[in-house]
């Protein structure tokens, strides 16, 4: 069987995680307990996850010509991601997310840097990667105009487009018409539809997004699993899996990668959503977004364990 092929267009960030006992007040200086430099960015996270799940994966994005950029590219290379579509920008800093963790909560400041220099011209220059792909996977940590152009280009080439519409922000309404699968969480679904998506109101919000011309709607629900809209407008749910949670960072990125890889293998929407739920559950059992992404073999073992447990 040929390997599924996924092209990821998106962000690469260095996550600088500082752990402190409490969040500093304005003008206050505290001593931190620990600092970690962790490769991240939604695009890069999804590329690593797709590659580990067995897909031939190409990354399109941008980094600066600095130490962080080199480290991020090396991390992708080690996981077998094709990084020839990631441009290096002299005089521009690589994207950085400063994450302060204290008292069981975090605060984050993101400096997009090179990520906001990913342009439609970069999509054209890497058209060969889109042509080879089965699935084109997009998020919103690069300019929206570039995401819109990439979706249009991918559809003109007859490709399947998956949009992870995060972080939520204003989008041209026409974008959804170029998207085959859109994967908001409940908050993002509410933001884009202008409707409450809690509890029994979830189905109505998902149907509203369908009216916005996206072909398939999948809503992630955190520990509660996920839901998808069938062709006849019914909402079906897929439960989450009970696992020991170590770090939820990157779980949503793993979900999107799992969905894309599964769809690229020709599986049904139900099967793809179930696989996405399975691999994202594995992702939270390890520390770090990219470090926690499971391999295809780990996913297969977990699926076999679940099957034996249920007696199917």
Tell me the binding residues.
Answer: 13-15, 41-45, 141, 185, 220-225, 247, 249, 252-253, 283, 286, 288
Residue 199 near residue 238, CB atoms below 8 Å? no
Which residues fall in the annotated binding site for ATP?
185, 220-225, 252-253
Cα distance between residue 100 and residue 90, in whole Å: 29
Which residues fall in the annotated binding site for K(+)?
247, 249, 283, 286, 288
According to DSSP, the residues that pair with 96 across neighbouring strands are 14, 111
Q: Indicate which residues carry an active-site annotation.
A: 253
Cα–Cα distances in Å, from 280 out to 22, 24, 277?
Answer: 30, 33, 5
Which residues fall in the annotated binding site for substrate?
13-15, 41-45, 141, 253
Neighbours of 260 (CB within 10 A): 33
- Give the length of the chain: 312
* Strand ranges across the sheet with 82-89: 82-89, 56-64, 5-9, 135-138, 160-163, 181-182, 216-220, 226-229, 235-238
According to DSSP, the residues that pair with 101 across neighbouring strands are 19, 106
Cα distance between residue 283 and residue 253, in whole Å: 9
């Amino acid at each position: 069987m040929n390997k599924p092929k996924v092209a990821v267009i998106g962000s690469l960030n260095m996550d600088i995680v500082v752990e402190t006992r409490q969040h500093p007040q304005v003008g206050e200086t505290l001593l931190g307990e620990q600092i970690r430099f962790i490769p991240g960015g939604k695009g890069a996270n999804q590329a690593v996850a797709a590659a580990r799940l067995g897909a031939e994966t190409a990354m399109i994005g941008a980094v600066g010509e600095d130490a962080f950029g080199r480290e991020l590219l090396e991390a992708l290379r080690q996981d077998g991601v094709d990084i020839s579509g990631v441009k290096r920008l002299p005089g521009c800093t690589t994207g950085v997310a400063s994450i302060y963790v204290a008292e069981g909560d975090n605060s984050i400041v993101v400096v997009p840097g090179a990520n906001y220099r990913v342009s439609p011209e970069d999509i054209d220059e890497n058209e060969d990667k889109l042509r080879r792909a089965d699935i084109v996977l997009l998020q919103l940590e690069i300019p929206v105009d570039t995401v819109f152009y990439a979706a249009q280009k991918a559809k003109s080439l007859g490709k399947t487009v998956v949009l992870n519409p995060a972080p939520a922000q204003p989008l041209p309404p026409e974008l959804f018409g170029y998207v085959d699968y859109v994967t908001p969480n409940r908050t993002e679904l509410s933001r884009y539809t202008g409707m409450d998506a809690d509890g029994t109101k979830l189905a109505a919000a998902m149907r509203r997004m369908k009216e916005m011309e996206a072909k398939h709607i999948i809503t992630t629900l955190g520990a509660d699993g996920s839901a998808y809209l069938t062709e006849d407008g019914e909402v079906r749910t897929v439960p989450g899996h009970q696992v020991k949670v170590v770090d939820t960072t990157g779980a949503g990125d793993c979900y999107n990668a799992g969905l894309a890889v599964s769809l690229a293998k020709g599986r049904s929407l139900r099967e793809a959503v179930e696989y996405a739920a399975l691999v994202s559950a594995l992702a939270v059992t390890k520390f770090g977004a990219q470090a926690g992404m499971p391999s295809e073999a780990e996913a297969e073992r977990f699926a076999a364990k679940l099957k034996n447990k249920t007696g199917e």
